[in-house]
Amino acid sequence: MSQPLDDHFVHRRRNRPEGPVPVDVISVQSQLVYGHAGNSAAVPPLRQWGLRVAEVPTTLLSNTPFYGTLRGRVLPSDWFGDLLQGVRERDLHRRARVLLSGYLGSIDNGHRFADWVAGVMAEAPQLRFCLDPVMGDTHTGPYVEPGLETVFRERLLPQAWLLSPNAFELERLSGLPAVTEADGLAAARALLAQGPAWIITHSLRNAAGELVTLAVGRDEAWKVTSPELPIDPDGPGDVLTALLVASLLAGEAMPRALERAVAGVHAALESTLANQYEELDITVAVPAAQRDGAPRFAAQKA
């Protein structure tokens, strides 16, 4: 259980202005000491783009879970709830433009977060909720408690403006297959009926064996295809969502934002492979995404 902070932590304000700092994005995700997933994958590109981010950890871990050891823990729900309450007390939700969430870690954290989202969305109508429903992938299967899927489906999905599942998560949420481009379109359109304006889904494949990333809205759908590289680090989905959000906040239309996001992720994967890094090289993602001129991977209507 968390304990109240000792009195010696609290002190009088020093000689500094009273004006609140602008906030663009509140990012609620896992956090690592080493490696790139969750906040540790999404926040650096957002800041490199020039956005101001308030990051809330759901877990604090030493590294991604594919090493021989893993230290740290999922935050207890009362600790996590305290951090969310602090965000609300500082009125960050009234200043931010986007609330971005990813891996939540536990069913209790999922319910705490859903309660908090319902409250802050009612208080801050300008806030757009971008939900990355992190539950697993096709290589590992599910890696969250089964009840967390219900939290995503029943409590968070209806609140979201944008949903960004991978193919595995799209299947779990929609109850429909999501392997091919056609599958992904059908499954995404089924989820649009539950509230979101956009479904961004990745890790689909076309007949040529290329990767397909879709942006499916109520009145339009776009796709970007890219080659699949022989590498599978953690974090590309987190970086994709971050780059997409950054580009949309910069005023780009959805197809251009999708082009930029895919280009940035592909460049990160290429650099990781070329340098033989064990973790995703996120440093190259933003320069590749922001490059002007003809898009490396052009969006087409789906």
Query: In this predicted structure, what is the pLDDT of residue 8?
Result: 65
Per-residue pLDDT tens, the chain, 302 aa: give them. Answer: 456 666 666 666 678 888 999 999 999 999 999 999 999 999 999 999 999 999 999 999 999 988 999 999 999 999 999 999 999 999 999 999 999 999 999 999 999 999 999 999 999 999 999 999 999 988 788 889 889 999 999 999 999 999 999 999 999 999 999 999 999 999 999 999 999 999 999 999 998 989 999 999 999 999 999 999 999 999 999 999 999 999 999 999 999 999 999 999 999 999 999 999 999 999 999 999 999 999 999 999 99
Cα–Cα distance for residue pair 243/279, rounded to 1 Å? 18
Amino acid at 225: T
Cα–Cα distance for residue pair 55/31, rounded to 1 Å? 9
Distances 282 to 42, 61, 243, 250, 289 between C-alpha atoms, Å: 9, 19, 11, 20, 11
Cα–Cα distance for residue pair 214/66, rounded to 1 Å? 28
Beta strand extents in 197-237 (DSSP E only): 198-205, 211-217, 221-226
Which of 145, 127, 126 has its CA nearest to residue 135? 145
Distances 22 to 26, 168, 208, 220 between C-alpha atoms, Å: 11, 36, 45, 33
Amino acid at 226: S
CA 87 vs. chain centroid, Å, equals: 18
- Residue ranges and CATH numbers for the domains of the chain are 20-200+232-254 (3.40.1190.20)
Is there a contact between 26 and 100 (Cβ–Cβ < 8 Å)? Answer: yes
**pTM for this entry:** 0.95
Q: Which residues contact 87 (CB under 8 A, 6 or more apart)?
A: 26, 54, 56, 93, 120
